[in-house]
Amino acid sequence: MDKYIYDKNNGLWYELQGDYYIPCLTLPTEEERAVGIWGQRHKRYLKEHKPATYTTLLTSGKLHSYLADIDKQVEEMFLRLVKQLAEKEGVTEKLKAENPMLWAQKMRNIYNCAIEVVNTDLIFD
């Protein structure tokens, strides 16, 4: 028996494994883009809570680019929120120079609020 055979009906190659022919399947290649912490968090969420979506993205070869896009969107939203909240709270460079401890406290609170918003709106959605 041949090690590999080609089926013209479905366009697949098959490899002989023992007594059976198994289809030679590979995932489509994806472009390499950096996936940061936000993309990794969303990936973990998909794996745990939406396995069908995760599997569909993975097998279609779109998971990595999807996660890179989510990562970029979340990072932009996070930075925009931090800037807007700092302006709203009156956290300025002047406050940083005059009272660094108060500035650090307010900025930590702003970061935590921004993280909560992006987690709710984009990461765990």
- Print the domain residue range for 4: 1-30
Average pLDDT over residues 103-111: 97
pLDDT of res. 93: 94
Q: pTM surpassing 0.85?
A: no
**Are 71 and 115 part of one and the same domain?**
yes
pLDDT of res. 28: 67
**Are 24 and 54 part of one and the same domain?**
no
| Mean of pLDDT over the chain | 92
Q: How many CA atoms lie within 13 A of 104 on its CB side?
A: 3
**Are 26 and 36 part of one and the same domain?**
no
Burial of 53 (0-12, 13-18, 19+ CB in 10 A): middle
**Are 23 and 41 part of one and the same domain?**
no
Count of structural domains, the chain: 2
The whole-angstrom separation of Cα 65 and Cα 74 is: 14
